[in-house]
Structure 1
Amino acid sequence: MKIAFSQLIMVFGLALWVISGCGEKAENITGEKQVIAASEPCEQCLTPGSRASFLQASISDGRFVADESSLTTEQITQSLRQTIIGSDLPLAEVQLFNESRVPEMPRVRNAAEWQAKADQIRRDVLDNVVYRGNAAVWRDTKLKVEWFETIDGLPGYRIKKLRFECLPGWWIPALLYEPLKLKGKVPVVMNVNGHARSGKSTPQKQERCINLAKRGMIVLNPEWIGMGQFANRMGHYQMNQLDLCGAAGIAPFYLNMSKGLDVLLAHPNADSNRVAVAGLSGGGWQTIFISSLDTRVKLANPVAGYSSFKTRARHGKDLGDSEQTPNDLALYADYAHLTAMMADRSILLTNNAYDGCCFAAGHALPPLIDAAAPIFSLLGRRDQLRSHINHKPGTHNFDEDNREQFYRMIGHVFYPGQKYDWREIPSKKEIKTYEELVVPLPEDNHNFNSLALGLMKNLPKPFKGDSRARLLKMVKACDYKLNAKKTGEDSKEVLHYQFEMGKDWTVPGTVFTPKEVKGITLLIADQGRKSQAVEVKALLDAGQRVVAIDPFFFGESKIKSRDFLHVLLLHAVGERALGIQSGQIAAIAKWAKKEFGQSVQLNSIGPRLSVAARIAAVQTDAINSLSLRDPMTSLKSVIRENKGANHMPEMMCFGLLEYFDLAQIESLIAPRKVELD
């Protein structure tokens, strides 16, 4: 074996340096350095991957090996798959985050104070939630109704087919159940349906309409968006496409109901002082939403339709669709408030004892009663707040027992002191098929996607002012105080961290350090850090220290159950997932720059996190360059591909596309480099 003299001197010198730090055996009593014989290596020298073992190996075979990371792709994979925060923590954190932001009931001293508060809540919700932004143009559109065939030959009533516009170009099919003998003013009832695919033809809904018509009431049975004749054409989660464009996606839902009331009250025999709304499940949600906000409704019977946002945060089955958690609703009201807002009118709260779907009586009902009862009492109307718990069958239903409780409440409110039979009138033989109740609709009838496609054509629109400030305000970008906690076993090459974001979130991260550090790369990926071993290996080989993290909603930070529904609730309590993600990324970038003394390159892999990555780069100049692989190139792709909140909940940031597409966001990062691959 031949080794050049200069090489031998270098190796021998390095060996002395390594061995001198091996431990007490490497020094004599005077502190002078001694070379330990090769036959007596210390324990640290024999450690795999140590500098001493590296030198010994290079001398033994006559080669000198470069000083580079010894981590294999397999070892990197193992490190990336290391559990840092676990699957329970992201769920627990989002539950606490959402729950803590739900408003409490206001304290009022008298009926006048409450009425003023209720009026203010009603104005705020209608102005700032329901008709927010571009949806305001739909608020006062004139009622348009078209009538079709009448189904005659029925015992004591007829069914008239009609359709009405909830907003220009969006027609709602409906059925009007009209008593054959009408004299004077009579009560009117709007029966709204829930998530039954059969829509307005659902048997229990038909039976309710028939029973009320046989009692002399005029009844409207409107179709619900996404159900019945609308099934498979307009999913509820697509409503958030309108939010992205700056028009409240909740507006069509509300107009579907308010225009339905317009139809009923336009009837010459309608008694405007006796107006009721009732429905099951999603119909129960419709009932409380329209009844609390539209004072034309005098009696409401929501059946297994809602619970407080506080309850929903802890009971996953109660987490509602997009319409139940509209952007920023909880800045003004919880569903407890909406229930109490019926105190000047009447409400029957119906829940089922063993409901396996949602809003079971045991957890959903008590908080609503606790919130509303004091207000009803304050107004001297405690008897107008009633509740019923169904035990037979006790499942998710609006069957005979629950219907009879509704009929009884109608008698109490609309027919006081009069002879009135609240028992169910058998009518099963009169149930019509789906096909028999179909109402013609135009081929080009609007839906959420068609409205959003129209709105986005001229977006984003120009504006004056500070673009950076507006962007960060729109996404509600968070400026977190970060605490980095090491977790697991330490090594020179791999460290695991829990990055605590104030008191709200914990972000898992793994830091890989090569032997010779040339720069820092912060790595995020839609598929999570555990799938990025090849990428990490390539970066290490290029001399990059890699900080691989999983921001909110991705990778190990994924919410383990009903994930996107928690994000919808997060938006309802006034926060934005994009702002949380960008804030986390920015905070860790600032930490990395301070900790390691170098600016940070941010690498994002996948379309979804590429949006938060851009915003984070706007948020902090600790990120000196941005590399986006397989990025989203336009927010308009969310609408073109007809994505819903169930696909990309974090993208449904109210009004973002109204003023910013991704090109505009990238311009705010300049002159720093942005690479798209």
Structure 2
Amino acid sequence: MKRIALFLTLGFSLIISGAIGQTQNSDLLYRQSLKTVLAEIESRFKVKIKYNDDQVKDRWVNYALWRFRPELDETLSNVLAPLDLKVNKEKEGVYKLKEYEYYRWNVQDGQDKLDQLAKLYHDKASWEKRKALIKPGLYEVQGLSPLPAKPSSEPIITPKRVMDGYTVENIAIEILPGLYVNGSLYKPLKVKGKIPVMLSPDGHWAQQRYRADCQIRCAMMARMGVMAVSYDLFAWGESLLQFKSEDHRRSLAHTIQTLGGIRILDYVLSLKETDKGRVGISGGSGGGSHTVLMAAMDDRIKLSVPVVSLSSSFYGGCPCESGMPIHLCAGGTNNVEIAAMTAPNPQLVVSDGKDWTVTVPDHDMPFLKKIYGYYGRPDLVENVHLPEEGHDFGLSKRKAVYDFVIKNFKLDAALVRDKTGQYDESKCTIEKEPAMYVFGDKGERLPANAIKGFEQLEQVFKASTSK
């Protein structure tokens, strides 16, 4: 018995001393390279994990084999989460290594979060209190409370181009000293009385507002009697005359795009032909995130149509959508709750079956219906779900937008339909990209005071918001 006791005592001492040594010496942390660990995962679980060398270079996993569990998902989480990595499942047995996506939640987690939020209110009064907490926070976290002073310069507008039933002008608006947001202004050829407005913030698709589908959408709006404004993302399009493309993925891009939308709205509402009671906004993808945010923040917007963007489990995949902590306002929120803030203004959510909006009809829409129901108008929030389609702003999505705008702004659909009653987009002119520039083919007309570079923008923004 004495020998057994001595053995146990010595063994315990060795374990303790070994554990102390491991915490003091990183060489004894049983570390393995991430590449080696991923190979072991592939071997044990009979799966394929796709990655490039840069993703695994100089990355190590401490106590690597201790992180393995009988289940693949838990093993992957144990190994990758401390390194701010994750995998996306591409198909059965095939995964792709990704950087941690703070903006993408597990679907069930996102829905659970929305359910938790729904418990904070039960009628119009309690919802209005919640809304009153979120709204000022949206301004504050973006550095827009108060809003910076508006430059006194007049918008720069190019000569009008006359098309079939509409006109197009290119426009640049100075939103901070030396900072311009550029876009295209589509108007009905013949303006009679007051007309509605639709803002069209662009998403992250190639060519942005120069794309054929964007030009067609805005032209159709103009032909049906709407003033449509398509405008660039920050550090995309003509904004690249002032910044580098990588500047788009900085957090301040979020704030600048919001400020740009506000200043564009200021301008169109100053026009004598604008009907202030019929002002809407519709964008797709990243432009859909901007649509939701603008409609929640600015009461001047009376109608909104986020396209292939809204979801309780997706917060926006670019810093221009989620780079500022808007989703931490009032103790935590998400895009669906922010979208509900526009109630009871008409809202159409367009979703599809091949991106993160796939679950919108099952869970997110009932939430929105409930909030609109507090105002007695659940009919004013609608969903067009296209289960066989993917992430684009194709014809079926555009038709959904046309239907909704015509119905709620009380427009004449015959202006844009053919004899069979179908929407006729053939009369819309697709212009070449240079025709849509404000500052010339090579930027030769860029104003002399234009900001050059992100560092200068930061200085100007700080000076403009500290007064």
Q: State the TM-score, normalizing by the size of structure 1.
A: 0.49
- 1:251 aligned partner: 255
Amino acid of the structure 1 residue aligned with 2:342: M
- 2:435 aligned partner: 436
Q: What count of residue pairs does the alignment treat as equivalent?
A: 368
- How does 1:7-86 map onto structure 2 within 5 Å? 76=27, 79-81=30-32, 82-83=63-64, 84-85=66-67
- 1:217 aligned partner: 226
- 1:233 aligned partner: 244
Deviation at residue 150 of structure 1 after TM alignment:
2.1
Larger radius of gyration: 1
- 1:425 aligned partner: 424
- 1:118 aligned partner: 131
Pick from 280, 290, 302 the counterpart of residue 306 of structure 2: 302
Kindly indicate whether residue 342 of structure 2 is the aligned counterpart of residue 342 of structure 1.
yes
Deviation at residue 384 of structure 1 after TM alignment:
0.7
Post-superposition Cα deviations, 1:320-368, rounded to whole Å, max 9, x if no partner, equal 212322225323232121121121201000012223xxx33x2345332
Pick from 149, 161, 164 the counterpart of residue 158 of structure 2: 149
Kindly indicate whether residue 397 of structure 2 is the aligned counterpart of residue 398 of structure 1.
no
Deviation at residue 395 of structure 1 after TM alignment:
1.6
- 8 Å CA contact 1:298, 1:346 repeated in 2: yes
Deviation at residue 306 of structure 1 after TM alignment:
3.1
Which has the higher mean CA deviation after the structures are superposed, 292-301 or 327-336?
327-336
Kindly indicate whether residue 77 of structure 2 is the aligned counterpart of residue 88 of structure 1.
yes
Does the C-alpha gap of structure 1 residues 395 and 409 become closer, same or farther in structure 2, counting only changes over 3 Å? same
- 8 Å CA contact 1:239, 1:448 repeated in 2: no
Amino acid of the structure 2 residue aligned with 1:278: S
- 2:291 aligned partner: 287
Equivalent position SS for 2:438: coil
Kindly indicate whether residue 346 of structure 2 is the aligned counterpart of residue 330 of structure 1.
no
Instruction: Find the aligned partners of 1:179 and 1:193 in 2 and give their Cα distance.
Output: 21
- 8 Å CA contact 2:340, 2:371 repeated in 1: yes
Does the C-alpha gap of structure 1 residues 200 and 144 become closer, same or farther in structure 2, counting only changes over 3 Å? farther
- 2:173 aligned partner: 164
Does the C-alpha gap of structure 1 residues 415 and 447 become closer, same or farther in structure 2, counting only changes over 3 Å? farther
Deviation at residue 445 of structure 1 after TM alignment:
2.8
Instruction: Find the aligned partners of 1:136 and 1:378 in 2 and give their Cα distance.
Output: 29
Amino acid of the structure 2 residue aligned with 1:390: L
Instruction: Find the aligned partners of 1:256 and 1:454 in 2 and give their Cα distance.
Output: 15
Pick from 175, 185, 205 the counterpart of residue 184 of structure 2: 175
Considering fraction of residues, name the structure with more helix.
2
Does the C-alpha gap of structure 1 residues 307 and 448 become closer, same or farther in structure 2, counting only changes over 3 Å? farther
Instruction: Find the aligned partners of 1:454 and 1:407 in 2 and give their Cα distance.
Output: 40
Instruction: Find the aligned partners of 2:119 and 2:270 in 1 and give their Cα distance.
Output: 36
The unaligned stretches of length 5 or more in structure 2 are 12-20, 33-62, 68-74, 87-99, 440-445
Post-superposition Cα deviations, 1:284-335, rounded to whole Å, max 9, x if no partner, equal 1111110111111111111012322xx13xxxxx652123222253232321
- 8 Å CA contact 2:166, 2:187 repeated in 1: yes
Across the aligned residues of Structure 1 and Structure 2, the Cα RMSD in angstroms comes to: 3.5
Instruction: Find the aligned partners of 2:119 and 2:163 in 1 and give their Cα distance.
Output: 50
The unaligned stretches of length 5 or more in structure 1 are 1-20, 28-43, 45-68, 243-248, 313-317, 458-657, 659-677
Deviation at residue 113 of structure 1 after TM alignment:
3.6
Equivalent position SS for 1:373: helix
Which has the higher mean CA deviation after the structures are superposed, 186-195 or 415-424?
415-424
Post-superposition Cα deviations, 1:567-622, rounded to whole Å, max 9, x if no partner, equal xxxxxxxxxxxxxxxxxxxxxxxxxxxxxxxxxxxxxxxxxxxxxxxxxxxxxxxx
Pick from 179, 185, 195 the counterpart of residue 194 of structure 2: 185
Equivalent position SS for 2:204: coil
- 1:194 aligned partner: 203
Does the C-alpha gap of structure 1 residues 342 and 137 become closer, same or farther in structure 2, counting only changes over 3 Å? closer
Instruction: Find the aligned partners of 2:413 and 2:30 in 1 and give their Cα distance.
Output: 76
Pick from 310, 320, 345 the counterpart of residue 317 of structure 2: 320
- 8 Å CA contact 1:236, 1:322 repeated in 2: no
Equivalent position SS for 1:150: coil
Does the C-alpha gap of structure 1 residues 455 and 149 become closer, same or farther in structure 2, counting only changes over 3 Å? closer
Deviation at residue 160 of structure 1 after TM alignment:
1.2
Does the C-alpha gap of structure 1 residues 112 and 143 become closer, same or farther in structure 2, counting only changes over 3 Å? farther
- 1:274 aligned partner: 278
Does the C-alpha gap of structure 1 residues 207 and 417 become closer, same or farther in structure 2, counting only changes over 3 Å? closer
- 1:363 aligned partner: 359
Identity of aligned residues (%): 20
Q: State the TM-score, normalizing by the size of structure 2.
A: 0.69
Does the C-alpha gap of structure 1 residues 157 and 143 become closer, same or farther in structure 2, counting only changes over 3 Å? farther
